[in-house]
């Protein structure tokens, strides 16, 4: 089966520094795949290459078998590359229902028209309601986003990414900044994401990585250092030496 996402010999240099060193990574259909590595290993650069924020110096990116290396961020998003951001990017004054309404109606091509006839499109309303429930936002759906607990804001971010119905979802440190008490809910929600979306998780929180991922790829100094099942990576003494046992976290 065609991989959901594949990089072949992907390269990025910043002057003399090789931030992405010929990385070949395959994200299978329906994958729950985590990308980990020590600070400065090149995780953020890799995500920026995938989404088109940064141009690559070499190599290829295939999305569902299609070469998207030369495409810009918007084109890649249209072809199914979804992402969440490390830093909260939400509109603070809007409620979850409004933000999701906009995202869903945009994707369906209804655009601003939906807002002129709010509530009159049963199909759109059903989709928004489904997302609100799936992402445990029911209690706060009419509250301004800036007043939501941080964990709920992160859930809304993921809901918004999913509203565009991506084939691949890049989750960039979804647990960053989320208080311990709210992490359980985040993890449960991530575990229930639909299998038709293939997920690459970049995360510092190893509890979340081990609970969520089925495969793990380890980057060190921009290069692919190890890749395997969670059990294989946990048992790999090389990984333990450079990473798991060596520092407080990624």
Ligand X SMILES: Nc1ncnc2c1ncn2[C@@H]1O[C@H](COP(=O)(O)OP(=O)(O)OP(=O)(O)O)[C@@H](O)[C@H]1O
Q: Which residues make up the interface to ligand X (CB under 6 A)? A: 14, 17, 19, 37, 39-45, 250
Q: What angle do CA 230, 134, 186 make, to 5 degrees?
A: 45
Q: What are the two backbone dihedrals, phi and then psi, of residue 138, each rounded to the nearest 5 degrees?
A: -55, -45
Minimal distance in Å, beta carbon 172 to ligand X?
Answer: 9
Q: Which is nearer to ligand X, 86 or 240 (CB)?
A: 86
Minimal distance in Å, beta carbon 222 to ligand X?
Answer: 6
Q: Which is nearer to ligand X, 19 or 137 (CB)?
A: 19
Minimal distance in Å, beta carbon 105 to ligand X?
Answer: 34
Minimal distance in Å, beta carbon 131 to ligand X?
Answer: 29
Minimal distance in Å, beta carbon 187 to ligand X?
Answer: 20
């Amino acid at each position: 089966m065609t991989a959901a996402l594949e990089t072949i010999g992907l390269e990025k240099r910043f002057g003399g520094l090789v931030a992405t060193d010929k990385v070949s990574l395959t994200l299978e259909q329906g994958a729950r795949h985590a990308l980990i590595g020590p600070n400065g290993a090149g995780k953020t650069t890799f995500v920026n290459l995938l989404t088109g924020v940064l141009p690559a110096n070499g190599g290829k990116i295939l999305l569902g078998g299609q070469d998207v290396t030369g495409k810009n961020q918007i084109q890649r998003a249209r072809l199914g590359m979804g992402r969440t951001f490390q830093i909260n990017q939400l509109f603070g004054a809007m409620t979850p229902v409004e933000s999701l309404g906009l995202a869903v109606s945009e994707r369906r091509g209804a655009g601003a028209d939906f807002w002129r006839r709010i509530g009159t499109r049963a199909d759109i309303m059903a989709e928004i309601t489904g997302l609100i429930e799936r992402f445990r936002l029911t209690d706060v759906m009419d509250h301004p986003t800036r007043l939501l607990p941080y964990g709920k804001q992160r859930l809304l971010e993921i809901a918004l990414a999913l509203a565009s119905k991506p084939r691949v979802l890049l989750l960039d440190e979804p647990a960053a900044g989320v208080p311990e008490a709210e992490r359980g809910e985040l993890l449960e929600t991530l575990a229930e994401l639909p299998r038709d979306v293939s997920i690459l998780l970049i995360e510092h929180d190893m509890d979340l990585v081990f609970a969520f991922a089925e495969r793990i790829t380890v980057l060190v100094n921009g290069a692919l250092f190890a890749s395997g099942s969670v059990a294989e990576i946990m048992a790999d003494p090389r990984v333990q030496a450079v990473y798991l046992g060596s520092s407080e976290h990624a």
